[in-house]
Amino acid sequence: MIALSLAEIAEILHGELRLSGTDAPETIIDGDVDTDSRAMQTGSIFVAKPGEATDGHRFVGAAVDAGAVLAVVEHPVDAEVSQIVVADAVTALADLAREVVARVRGEGELQIVGITGSNGKTTTKNFLARILESVGETIAPIKSYNNEVGAPLTMLRVTSSTRFLVCEFGAAGPGSIAHLAGLVTPDISVVLMVGLAHAGGFGGIEATAMAKAELVHATKSGGTAVLNTDDPRVWAMREIAQSRGIRVVGFGQGAAADVRAESLEVSASGTSCEIEAGGERMPLRLQVLGAHHISNALAAIAAAGVLGVPAAGAITQLETVQLAERWRMQPMGSDRVRIINDAYNASPDSMAAALRTLAQIVGPGERTVAVLGAMSELGESAGEEHDRIGLLAVRLNIQRIVVVGPEARRLFLAAVGEGSWDSEAVHLADQDAAFEYLKDELRDGDRVLVKSSNSVGLRHLGDRLGELFS
């Protein structure tokens, strides 16, 4: 974080400063900010956030022992550390992030990119960060820090030497993206797609589209909206942008795209295509598996182009990316039995894309195996969407369909109803049962996809299988 005095921080947070030891209001703090006491280092600021499972106030002492020199609390605690008492720790975190970013931006160098979409946010964030790191100091979220806590923590990592801040914005509900993006007012907004991920919490896909459009509304006047021309709901957001004097750059595979992909090819070693941008045509060969990641790459190339990075330079950086993120189309195992662990999250769109990738990368004499769990937060459409994925798996000729957990039973029944029987499809109660089944069932030449929503936890099953067959 940038250097601020204790008095300045207290004023920004609208809090009461309680000094400890030799600290004075003029004492300067410039350490990292976090809500995890285990992440503290010498000079850090610990934000004691109450949670559903535990309360951060219980860990102030541990944070101090680890090096914290300031605690932001909702009530005073018995610890030898200066404290700022605030009404709400999460609100205080947002207030501090807003002010820190505003001060750095006021120096004239910092440019901010905000990314949202039902799928692909983290991959696109990682792609764009890889590109921008080659031309200037770049701050981007760790993992999927995209909520009311993670996003401000990312923002607070900026310093006077930061040139680019890449923010990932998830939508907990209507208004959440507007709130988070409003903390920084991005120069560039990137909207990837509108799908059924979390649609149950929004009341349907049209409400989801409105939530994603909040990022375009929050974009700085005179800024740029980078929009997916292949998604009609996203491309329609250009009208919002144009009404606010925001430039529009399109990416996709259609003629309307400014950054376009053609001739896609998917193999077990990666994904390739031809990129057309700025009147030039050039090849892109991603090491990351899956045709759906080409769209994420296009978004990153387009956003980087707005920031002055030529497409050729962006492509050079993208081709160095070996893994989008842990548990996202992550190759594991060995050439003998290849495990693709893509179980960090799942929506109908990402589930379908992963299954298509599995079907595309199989070679002669190899067998496709899909280990599938439930997709969460789909609301009233959950049953229908699980049916659709079961049908798709059969129609893609996935040779073994292993469905795990009671919440995914409809997926199994749909597969059986579509013609996957005689042990081609099985339903198992939990991860342990699936592991016991698969360690005997899998054989040389198998290509195995493990896919579920994060809450189901099949990513850990994928890890176990990857280690077993490494």
Does 325 reside within a domain?
Answer: no
Does 324 reside within a domain?
Answer: no
Does 208 reside within a domain?
Answer: yes
pLDDT on residue 287: 93
pLDDT tens digits, 79-95: 999 999 999 999 999 99
Ligand-binding annotation for 123, yes or no, is yes
Percentage with pLDDT > 90 across the chain: 85
Least confident of 50-54, 96-100, 132-136, 335-339: 50-54
Residue 317 has pLDDT above 70, yes or no: yes
Whether residues 230 and 101 share a domain: the answer is yes
pLDDT tens digits, 332-355: 999 999 999 999 888 999 999 999
Does 395 reside within a domain?
Answer: yes
Does 176 reside within a domain?
Answer: yes
Handedness of CA 418, 424, 427, 432 (dihedral sign): negative
Print the domain residue range for 144: 92-318
pLDDT tens digits, 279-316: 999 999 999 998 999 999 999 999 999 999 999 999 99
Whether residues 123 and 20 share a domain: the answer is no
pLDDT on residue 422: 72
Q: How far is residue 294's CA from residue 350's CA, in Å, rounded to a whole number?
A: 13
Domain boundary among 40, 67, 87: 87
The larger pLDDT score, comparing residue 420 to residue 281, is at 281
Structure tokens at 214: 């909040």
Whether residues 461 and 420 share a domain: the answer is yes
Domain boundary among 54, 87, 120: 87
- Contacts (Cβ under 8 Å, ≥6 apart) of 185: 112, 218, 219, 220
Ligand-binding annotation for 118, yes or no, is yes
- Per the CB < 8 A criterion, the answer to whether 449 and 355 are in contact is yes
pLDDT on residue 52: 78
Enter the DSSP assignment of 50. B
Query: What CATH number has the domain bearing residue 247?
Result: 3.40.1190.10
* Angle, helices 89-106/6-13, rounded to nearest 10 degrees: 120
pLDDT on residue 53: 81
Whether residues 359 and 422 share a domain: the answer is yes
Whether residues 282 and 398 share a domain: the answer is no
Give the mean pLDDT of 387-416: 96
Does 323 reside within a domain?
Answer: no
Whether residues 83 and 96 share a domain: the answer is no
Whether residues 40 and 81 share a domain: the answer is yes
| SS3 readout for 219-259 | CCCCCEEEEECCCHHHHCCHHHHHHCCCEEEEEECCCCCCE
Does 371 reside within a domain?
Answer: yes
- Categorize the per-residue pLDDT at 325 as very low, low, confident or very high, splitting at 50, 70 and 90: confident
Whether residues 401 and 261 share a domain: the answer is no
Average pLDDT in the chain? 94
Total domains in the fold of the chain: 3
Residue 423 has pLDDT above 90, yes or no: no
pLDDT on residue 200: 53
Residue 207 has pLDDT above 80, yes or no: yes
Q: How far is residue 261's CA from residue 281's CA, in Å, rounded to a whole number?
A: 9
Give the mean pLDDT of 252-261: 96
Q: How far is residue 12's CA from residue 312's CA, in Å, rounded to a whole number?
A: 43
Q: How far is residue 144's CA from residue 149's CA, in Å, rounded to a whole number?
A: 11
Residue 201 has pLDDT above 70, yes or no: no
Query: What CATH number has the domain bearing residue 26?
Result: 3.40.1390.10
- Where does residue 263 rank: exposed (0-12), middle (13-18), buried (19+ CB within 10 A)? exposed
pLDDT tens digits, 158-191: 999 999 999 999 988 889 999 999 999 999 999 9
Q: How far is residue 197's CA from residue 376's CA, in Å, rounded to a whole number?
A: 8
pLDDT tens digits, 263-274: 999 988 899 999
Residue 198 has pLDDT above 60, yes or no: no
Q: pTM above the 0.85 mark?
A: yes
Q: How far is residue 162's CA from residue 139's CA, in Å, rounded to a whole number?
A: 7
Ligand-binding annotation for 61, yes or no, is no
- The label of the residue with tokens 């981007």 reads 140
pLDDT on residue 394: 96
Least confident of 242-246, 327-331, 403-407: 327-331
Whether residues 217 and 288 share a domain: the answer is yes
Whether residues 169 and 215 share a domain: the answer is yes
Domain boundary among 39, 62, 87: 87
Ligand-binding annotation for 119, yes or no, is yes
Does 133 reside within a domain?
Answer: yes
Whether residues 290 and 168 share a domain: the answer is yes
- Categorize the per-residue pLDDT at 327 as very low, low, confident or very high, splitting at 50, 70 and 90: confident
Whether residues 251 and 379 share a domain: the answer is no
Give the mean pLDDT of 219-239: 97
- Categorize the per-residue pLDDT at 420 as very low, low, confident or very high, splitting at 50, 70 and 90: confident
pLDDT on residue 165: 98
pLDDT on residue 66: 97
- Per the CB < 8 A criterion, the answer to whether 442 and 448 are in contact is yes
